[in-house]
Amino acid sequence: MRTRVEMLQFYREPLQVFFGFAFPIVLFAIFATIFDQSWTMPDGTEVKTSTYYLAGMIAAAVMTSGFQSTAEIIATERDDRTLRRLAVSPMPRSAYLLGKVVLVLINTTLQTALLLVVARMLFDVPMPHQVLTFAWVLLLGTAAATAAGVAFASALPSGRAAIAAATPITVVLSFFSGSYIPMSELPTWLQHLGYVFPQAWIARGLRVSLLPEQFGQEIEIAPFGLSDMPVLPLAALVLTAWLVVMLVLARTTFRWSPRDAG
């Protein structure tokens, strides 16, 4: 029932829906058009940059919906006393957070589906050849990003502060997580820094399902110097760690009322 309420609130705002779904598609189209190039693998396979950017834009959309939007909305609803009213209602408190999580999962799934359709129809990007890998990376990454958004909302004093802080953080992460700039173009130290955060692992995990296996070995450095460890177990480990830590922080720091509330 809470998920239904969250969906009605979201989809009754036409501009929010339009820009939320159109922004990653427009960004992908811009990058795929401007950087219309390809990499040649040792076996002669051509890898289009549009395929690389598809994974990056999906990862950016996950962070925008899961981290940025969740943090901004929760902080704003705390400011206008929505959370305080919900806290004294018969609704289980866990239902509020679960409603946010399911809404993000639904929106992320729809955004991803639209991106895949646009990429296939306009840029001839192949569909994922490892569907299960694509699905679990997307699901785990979305859960980790949303948990981070909940925890981040609790750390900020107001909704205005959340809007001011969450947006630049999301944009900066996209630049050194391989969404806007190929990781191979970044300094080595910045690549390692990017791999500390979940967005780089969402993008790289999705690329495993979209690109040839040798792509990462030729184009991107081994994360943290672990050249002998496959990418997917590392992605699962980092994303799970982020999910667990952020859930603990969210559980222990979540506030239903503003800090100045009596």
- For 157-188, the pLDDT digits (tens) are 787 888 888 889 999 999 888 888 888 788 88
Q: 54 — phi, psi (to 5°)?
A: -60, -50
The predicted structure's pLDDT at residue 119:
93
| The pair of three-digit structure tokens given for residue 120, joined into one six-digit string | 């296939």
Q: Which of 142, 140, 73 is nearest to 104 (CA)?
A: 142
Distances (CA, A) of 220 to 98, 186, 211: 36, 10, 13
Tell me the β-bridge partners of 40.
46
Count up the domains in the chain and report the number. Answer: 1
Q: Does some domain include residue 47?
A: yes
Contact assessment for residue 116 and residue 127, using Cβ atoms and an 8 Å cutoff: yes
Residue 203 sits in which domain range?
Answer: 2-253
Q: Does some domain include residue 197?
A: yes
Q: Does some domain include residue 120?
A: yes
At 179, is the secondary structure helix, strand, or coil? coil
The predicted structure's pLDDT at residue 115:
94
At 65, is the secondary structure helix, strand, or coil? helix
Q: Does some domain include residue 258?
A: no
Q: Does some domain include residue 260?
A: no
Q: Does some domain include residue 239?
A: yes
Q: Which of 120, 146, 3 is nearest to 62 (CA)?
A: 146
Q: Which residues contact 48 (CB under 8 A, 6 or more apart)?
A: 36, 37, 38, 123, 124, 125
Which of 35-41's residues contact partners 24+ apart within 8 Å by CB, and which partners?
Answer: 39/215, 39/218, 39/219, 41/212, 41/214, 41/215, 41/218
Cα radius of gyration rounded to whole Å, the chain: 19
The predicted structure's pLDDT at residue 262:
47
- Burial label for 5, CB within 10 Å (0-12, 13-18, 19+), is middle
Instruction: Report the alpha-carbon distance of residue 210 to residue 219 in Å, rounded.
Output: 14
Q: Does some domain include residue 61?
A: yes
Q: Which of 140, 150, 180 is nearest to 67 (CA)?
A: 150
Q: Which residue has the tokens 């990653």?
A: 24
Residues of the chain with pLDDT under 50: 218, 262
Q: Does some domain include residue 12?
A: yes
Contact assessment for residue 206 and residue 239, using Cβ atoms and an 8 Å cutoff: no
